[in-house]
Chains A and B, each alone.
Chain A
Amino acid sequence: MKYLLRYILFALILQCVPVLKVSAQPEHPRPRQADSAKQCAICHYRWVFAFFVEHRSTPIAPLQEKKVVGSQEMCLSCHDGSVMDSRDRICNDPGHRVGNIPSKRVRIPATFPLDQFGRMTCSTCHTPHATTKEEGKIGGFFLRAPNINSSFCKQCHITKTGGKADGNHPTDISAQDVPQQVLDAGGRLGTDMPNQIICETCHSPHGGVNNRFLVLTVEDPKTRSVLCEACHTKKPGLTGDEAHHQNSHPYDLTPGKIPKIPKKWNNGQEVVLGTGGELVCRTCHIPHAAADKQALLVERNSNDSLCIECHGDHKNIASSSHYRTIVDPEELNIKGQKASDLGPCSPCHLVHHGAGKLMWARTSAQISGRPGEYCNSCHQPGGAAEKVMPKEFSHPIDITMTAKTAPGVLPLFDDIRGENPDGKIRCATCHNFHDPYPMFDDPDNKGTQQGKYLRFSEQGASGVCMQCHPRQGLVKNTDHDLTLIAPDFVNAQGITVSQGGVCSPCHSVHQDQQQKLLWAAPRGPAKLQWWNQTYSSDYNVMTMLCTGCHAPDSIGAEKIPKYGLHPKDFLVPGRELTLELSDDRPTRFEDDDFPLYSDDGEIIDTGNIVCVTCHNPHQWEPYRQAQGPGRNVEGNVANSFLRPGLDVQFCSRCHGRDSLIMYQYFHRDIGREKTEPSFSFK
């Protein structure tokens, strides 16, 4: 009997083995309130009787010990269309992330379960047990807690609340209008006030368009900043001012080579661009955790430092007279901001709500883009820069250019679009207002320097001229290049060659004295005293421009014409003009042309032969489109600034077969008066 009892005891112990196995689950703690009933285990898979009670696998199902109730696979097992079709929203859009460990910026309430690895699962937010009669308050999405005006979101995303004070886009404010576009895309409004902005106005945890699950895109190449624009541009949005974001910084455009967009901002934040490389609102602004809390900027913009990060080519303005912050600290822009409180950009430009194109901040009048309008806001009588105003005789503006004069490197402008390759010359064609170089002494303030703000200043002070006048640029390194032969020469405007560059001895773009060719060199007499006074004209502008230098005691005294000009009033008729016309102005000095001039210096069909009829003062060798030799060379008939063709047909070009007879007749007649040959070829 004793043995019998032992057997019975042994048998009972063995029969209890499965039960002991179930009890021994060190890795996976026994769940609370587990129930193997179908209603529970249909989602709580590990509660299936075979697994949980019998702790065994089945022929078709391995033993399940881990918690999988909130896994995406479990959710999809019903949300694949068999109960609810959420394939689009849960599994294929970039919705709220699951399967990752929440960042430190997120605070997960203790009642929101994570999986055993601390990762987000569907059940972190959702539970089927949450359905109540107050379906509306719960949200109808099986959320674990009521979601009143996005209160559910804020339980975890504590750093995304607090509005601008915490560097976040404000919520729980009433927008004047919310575009239907946002609502159609799934954006929701709060219920406490009209058009209440809540988290879900912009974000949809399922059904968003990007990994921030925004309801509309901010960086798509086709629709770009559409979410921001929906409220802040195209519709009145929050401010009630329809024009609030007109005349703003350009966006939704791919920047050109300049400005240069950095990969990262100075504070290390990634620079966000549209998927096509476009500048988008999000490039400068960030709706959460903004460094600049007022404007929600990605980085603080102290002294316009954010602007300069892209517009680095404008940084030289800080050393210029255009730096209003230093030059005129008390000056106010149209927002009433004092220059001394601003960086170098904001006195002239407002990123949003400018007075016109270029986000102009210097006049409240709407800027239309007409010629000189921006510049005149300062460079006018009574303006901040009235001392530096365009003179009466200046390079023409608001004209188009021909192919020969417009190589396409300088910007042209129209009234509507601004910069336009087919536009016209404006101040900004030659001037870069943000770069003062080259500098020169300020005649009004001794000891200080003034900037010319010229483009291509790295090519010298006249570098910009040669961009449109490349043929005239061949004057470099010739005997007419005073930077080589007379660097101390001062033109009629008081500008030295070193200040003004190679063009400046003869031409001054802005002056108040001479209109003809914007002449800056001294004018000479119309005829020299030893010329035949009878034949020479008493007044001939074109001659006077040359004799300003090529006269006794002048810089060109060594090259004075020995004989006078072609007889006065013996005008050359009948030549066919082949000149190209530009804006009704004749183009001068064509290679195959021998221009004739009126006494006033206009090219005419029948006119006087003057120096430049035969000479091209900008090109040393007629058959070589090149700059000069760079040293003083004695000329001959093959160079000497002569025009092409003169070496073989100097006279016959006009006089034909009669050339020799006429030459002998007229020149011998002249010679007979002086009893010596009038002219001889060496």
Chain B
Amino acid sequence: MRTIKTFLLLFIFIPVSIQICCGDDVPVIQTRHLFDIEADFLHPSDIAVGTKGRVYVLDGVNSRVVIFDRKGNYKSSFGTRGNGRGTFNNPIGIDVDNNGAVYIADSGNHLIQVFDPEGHFTFEFPVDTKKSPLPADPTDIALDDAMNRCYVVDNDNHRILVYTKDGSKLLEKWGERGEKPGEFQYPFLAATDNQSTLYVVDVLNTRVQALNAEGRTMSVIGKWGVDRGQFYRPKGIAIDKNNRIYVSDSYLGVVQVFERFRKFLGVLGNEKKELLRFNTPSGIVVDNDLHIYVIEMTLNRARVFQILN
């Protein structure tokens, strides 16, 4: 009888205890706030770090790119609204190669434009629309210098287009609309790591897919939900030099961190281990000094933190 009573008491209290402990227990990746970058942005979407400490903010609705130094000081800007060379129509994604060349995914003009580090137009190439039901919607471009490739995310057509870095040759097309691995529902921003793995934020599938150089899905990071390691509106992705993966969630307002491929590591927090809450975090990037730059789209700014652990 006594044994039965003891069992019943455990039956009563253990679930409650578990529920309480788990409610607040989340690993925090500590950071220290360094500075914010503001320059009359209008719904910026993405950010990239180039050579010589240049930081490029893609100021989307203003259809321009603004260049800052690594301390957040304004240096210059380039681009205006338009459909000619060096002009943009609500661009969304940006990346910089090892030589400092700046690649812009000009969504509204359906092409990729490339500039030198100072913002001078170099070349452009249209995004392929053969056999695509909709006009190309390049929302981001991710560069792989080692493979001499660039990956163009065609958002509306739910696929990835693989080009040579000079845009002269379309190498492959990966994916279609769907929920299976290798399929996408509105792929958005993307990044590559130093092992030629492409990570694509698959927005409405609420996940990040990691693809190898052949386009095969190596792993799926995150899933639908509002809990640790889950996504509600994943948007931005960044890979640090240790191949840790950072994913921003624009509605939950957090940046979650994963080990390469899958394991959830934690959520960005401050020095007091409180979660960092962002307002519509979108594009993110981590530089070699483990500074993380987070675009807050509706607040029209970029926040910069030093990752401590």
Contacts and interface: CB of A to CB of B under 8 A. Distances in A.
B12 to A, nearest CB: 5
B298 A76 contact: yes
A284 B309 CA distance: 67
Give the bracket for the number of chain A residues in contact with chain B: 35 or more
A58 B227 contact: yes
Contact of B188 (A4, A15, A60, A81): A81
A50 B228 CA distance: 12
B235 interface: yes
Contact of A92 (B61, B107, B233): B61
A91 interface: yes
A4 B227 contact: no
Contacts of A591: none
Interface in B1-39: 1, 4-5, 8, 11-12, 15-16, 19, 22-26
A538 interface: no
Interface string B137-172: 001000000000000000100000000000000000
B4 to A, nearest CB: 6
B136 to A, nearest CB: 13
Contact of A87 (B43, B226, B227, B232): B43
Interface in B185-212: 186, 188, 203-204, 206
B239 interface: no
Contacts, number: 119
A192 to B, nearest CB: 31
A48 B227 CA distance: 11
Nearest to A48: B226
Interface string A52-73: 0000111111000000000001
B309 to A, nearest CB: 18
B60 A87 contact: yes
A88 B155 contact: no
Given A87-B90, A91-B298, A11 B12 contact: yes
Given A59-B24, A85-B107, A80 B12 contact: no
A73 B204 contact: no
Interface stretch (B64-72, B95-103, B110-118, B251-259): B251-259
Given A15-B15, A42-B204, A87-B61, A80 B297 contact: yes
Nearest to A37: B224
Given A38-B224, A81-B107, A87-B90, A59 B26 contact: yes
B280 A59 contact: no
Contacts of A60: 26, 226-228, 252, 254, 256, 267, 275
Contacts of B297: 76, 80
A58 B228 contact: yes
Given A8-B8, A60-B267, A81-B90, A48 B225 contact: yes
B1 A4 contact: yes
Contacts of A17: 16
Given A11-B11, A80-B250, A92 B42 contact: yes
A7 to B, nearest CB: 5
A82 B280 contact: no
A18 B19 CA distance: 10
Contacts of B23: 56-59
B170 to A, nearest CB: 23
A504 to B, nearest CB: 67
Interface in A20-65: 38, 42, 45, 48-51, 56-61
A679 interface: no
Given A7-B8, A59-B24, A88-B61, A82 B226 contact: no
Contact of A80 (B22, B254, B282): B282
A61 B267 CA distance: 12
A15 B226 CA distance: 24
B275 to A, nearest CB: 7
A7 B12 CA distance: 10
B5 A56 contact: no
Contact of A91 (B8, B43, B232): B43
A87 B4 CA distance: 62
A81 B107 CA distance: 9
Interface string A264-291: 0000000000000000000000000000
B143 to A, nearest CB: 20
Contact of B90 (A10, A15, A73, A88): A88
Given A10-B12, A60-B228, A91-B298, A82 B275 contact: no
Contact of B25 (A15, A59, A88): A59
Given A81-B139, A87-B90, A11 B107 contact: no
A76 B280 contact: yes
A17 B206 CA distance: 32
A93 to B, nearest CB: 10
Contact of A85 (B22, B24, B108, B204): B108
A74 interface: yes
Interface in B217-274: 224-228, 232-233, 235, 250-252, 254, 256, 267
B155 A82 contact: yes
B227 A50 contact: yes
Contacts of B155: 81-83
Contacts of A38: 206, 224
Interface string B46-71: 00000000000000110000000000
A502 to B, nearest CB: 65
B280 A80 contact: yes
B292 interface: no
A409 interface: no
Contacts of A73: 251, 280, 298
A388 interface: no
B109 interface: no
A159 to B, nearest CB: 34
B222 to A, nearest CB: 12
A7 B188 contact: no
Interface of A: 3-4, 7-8, 10-11, 14-15, 17-18, 38, 42, 45, 48-51, 56-61, 73-74, 76-78, 80-83, 85, 87-88, 91-92
Q: Which 8 A-B pairs have CB atoms at the shortest separation, nearest pair first?
A: A59-B26, A61-B226, A58-B227, A82-B188, A87-B43, A77-B233, A82-B203, A81-B92
14 contacts: A8-B8, A38-B206, A58-B225, A59-B267, A61-B232, A76-B280, A76-B298, A78-B203, A80-B280, A80-B297, A81-B139, A81-B155, A88-B90, A91-B43
